[in-house]
Amino acid sequence: MSELKNDQELRREEELELLEQAGVNAYPYSFNKTHDAINILNNYKDEAPEEFASVAVAGRIMSIRRMGKASFFHISDQTGKIQVYLKKDELPEFYENLKLLDIGDIIGIEGYGFRTKTGEVSVHAKSVALLCKSLRSLPVVKEEIDEQGNKIVYDAFADKELRYRRRYVDLIVNPEVKKTFFKRSKIISFMRNYFEAQGWLEVETPILQPIYGGASARPFITHHNALDIPLYLRIADELYLKRLIVGGFEGVFEISKNFRNEGMDKTHNPEFTAMEIYVAYKDYNWMMEMTEDLISNLAFTINGTHEVEYDGHNISLQKPFRRAKMFDLFKEYTGLDLKGKNRVELIAAAKSINVEVEANASSMKILDEIFGAKVEHHLIQPTFVIDYPLEMSPLAKKHRNEDGLVERFELFVCGKELANAFSELNDPRDQRQRLEEQALNRAAGDEEAMILDEDFLYALEVGMPPTAGLGIGIDRLVMMLTGETSIRDVLFFPQMRPEKK
């Protein structure tokens, strides 16, 4: 970054030199930490202080209050903030060096737990060790607890650009950010455990793919030098996971970073995390039950309740979720029966309810537009939208009872798509035909139509058992369970345009 240093940074370099001249190693090798801040804060008892007669804590200095011959620092570790009390009499060698410490430095304290006159559980220092001198100044955020117990934050580090570009600083000074990412980690490990408990196998499939597929999206393209071929960063892992079902695994899942070369906004980042799972001998009805069980248990485990407040809505993730056929939803929210209508009729229908569509839009596109404009935002409580038109879903199996439809569901919560699942198409003849249609669309200029993958078709010809597949957008799920409305706030390092000098 900037090579120009401000007065505070110059001062820190000077302090570092002075410390080293005083014989202090500003970057030592280890510290024997025995307690987390939260452990002392939660368990210290006035009637049994001997339980914390000897503690060693470590963390970053977040505030300093020097009072002449005694000082109070707050240090922050992974679990929270704790106050330490430092007295000149008891730190004869180090007390002078305390002047050379700053907010942002990392220190280790050995001492004992006690409660101050004003009631705060703290650590009384018997020795201090500098563990890392910080050469950059941190934003100074101050907090006050008012009489009602509400936290008031002064001078918050709020600049979104800086928070995303320097997430490490954001994590240091905005502790609630850490909470979001602890939750994210718990959500993923809950899922992993849930699937593994069923005996399903976590797998890894290629990120670099010679033919991309499994979704409709534009890819990132790269190049392999030794083979001298283009490779694509995966937009989905579906076709590889299905190959593994062909290979004889009966349940496989992958938590996968996918990459799509498209716009960025509050719910889209060019790389994002999806979870896809395929289970042999099952259909989409079974998958719906599995999905609602997974999500309602997940919500309860993460938040201790099935209720979630998101974007101003109170949502209950208690199962079972509502199930609604797509064309019934059209009827419900537009009053129109769109089933079996041809393109011309659909254009007229769209016009009649003031949905704008391009003159040359396909039937699918028109249905999609109407769904987006008139239906989606009504789906606040978790809703499985089921039975989609065949043309919208080239990898889904034809509906067992209804012509022109496939066995597919998407789960909507708060008007947003969270999951997508099918009874997977395993008839190789039908699959070939549908991918050939995609190829035609592609030739006609649809950049997002799927590419025909002969090896995938070969695998289906070898034979895939009946299979149910599900994909869940992990970032959106994390957003919902943490109440964040921007995907950037659930990614450590959201994509940003590089800074130019």
Q: Which amino acid is at 415?
A: G
Choose, by CB under 7 A, the member of 3, 144, 309, 403 that binds RNA.
144
Helix (H, G, I), strand (E, B) or coil at 223: strand
Q: Which is nearer to RNA, 224 or 266 (CB)?
A: 266
Closest to RNA by CB, 223 vs 500, is: 500
Whether residue 320 has a cis bond before it, omega within 30° of 0? yes
**CA neighbor of 381 nearest in space, from 329, 464, 293, 319:** 319
Measured in whole angstroms, the distance separating CA 87 from the mean position of its chain's CA atoms is 44
Would the CA dihedral through 359, 363, 368, 371 be positive or negative?
positive
Binder to RNA among 45, 54, 66, 340 (CB under 7 A)?
66
Using CB under 7 A as the binding rule, whether residue 244 contacts RNA is answered as no
Neighbours of 426 (CB within 10 A): 18
Inter-CA distances, 12 with 26, 70, 104, 419, 429, Å: 12, 22, 11, 50, 71
Query: Which residues in the 348-387 window bind RNA by CB under 7 A?
Result: 368, 372
**How do the residues of the chain divide into helix, strand and coil, expressed in percent and rounded to 5?**
35, 30, 35
Choice between 267 and 318, CB closer to RNA: 267
CB contact set of 268 (below 8 Å; sequence gap of 6+): 260, 262, 487
139 vs 382 by CB, closer to RNA: 139
DSSP 8-class letter at 12: H
CB 233 within 8 A of CB 259: yes
Among 29, 30, 150, 154, binds RNA (CB under 7 A): 154
Taking CB under 7 A as the rule, does residue 322 contact RNA? no
Look-up: residue for tokens 């928070």?
163
List 24, 26, 56, 64, residue binding RNA (CB under 7 A)? 64
Residue with Cβ nearer RNA (48 or 162): 162
Q: What is the closest distance, in whole angstroms, from the C-beta atom of residue 4 to RNA in the complex?
A: 7
Could you give the C-alpha distances from 15 to 18, 345, 411, 488, in angstroms and in order?
A: 5, 77, 57, 37
Q: Does 260 bind RNA (CB under 7 A)?
A: yes
Return the closest-CA partner of residue 292 out of 320, 250, 332, 328.
320
CB of 336 to RNA, least distance (A): 20
The piece of 160-168, 202-210, 238-246, 336-344 that touches RNA (CB under 7 A) is 160-168
Half-sphere exposure of 136 (CA within 13 A, CB side): 10
409-428 residues near RNA, rule: CB under 7 A: 410, 417, 420
Q: Are 169 and 139 in contact (CB under 8 A)?
A: yes
Residues binding RNA: what is the number (CB under 7 A)? Answer: 73
The mark string for 87-106 relative to RNA (x by CB under 7 A, - otherwise) is xxx---------x--xx---
In the complex, the smallest distance separating the C-beta of residue 501 from RNA, rounded to whole angstroms, is 9
What contacts 149, CB < 8 A, 6 or more positions away? Answer: none
User: Which of 13, 25, 51, 65 touches RNA (CB under 7 A)?
Assistant: 65
* 72 near RNA, rule: CB under 7 A: yes
Sort strands 55-66 and 70-77 into parallel, antiparallel or unpaired. Answer: antiparallel
Q: Among residue numbers 390 through 409, which ones bind RNA (CB under 7 A)?
A: 392-393
Within its chain, how far is the Cα of 246 from the centroid? 31
CA-based end-to-end distance of the chain: 9
- Select from 285, 316, 318, 486 the one that contacts RNA (CB under 7 A): 486
Of the candidate residues 52, 94, 157, 371, the single one contacting RNA (CB under 7 A): 157
CB-nearer residue toward RNA: 302 or 450: 450
Give the residue with the Cβ less far from RNA, 101 or 302: 101
Span 14-43, contacts to RNA by CB under 7 A: 15
Nearer to RNA, 248 or 263 (CB): 263
448: contact with RNA by CB under 7 A: yes
Q: Which of 39, 76, 122, 426 binds RNA (CB under 7 A)?
A: 122
* Least gap, CB of 142 to RNA (angstroms): 4
Amino acid at 303: N
Q: Which stretch binds RNA (CB under 7 A): 31-39, 82-90, 223-231, 379-387?
A: 82-90
Please name which of 219, 216, 197 lies closest in space to residue 208, comparing C-alpha atoms. 219
263 binds RNA (CB under 7 A): yes
> Binder to RNA among 129, 138, 188, 211 (CB under 7 A)?
138
Integer Cα distance of 290 and 480 in angstroms: 19
For residues 103 and 302, which CB has a smaller minimum distance to RNA in the complex?
103
Contact call for residue 8 and RNA (CB under 7 A):
yes
Our CB check for RNA shows the closer of 155 and 204 to be 155
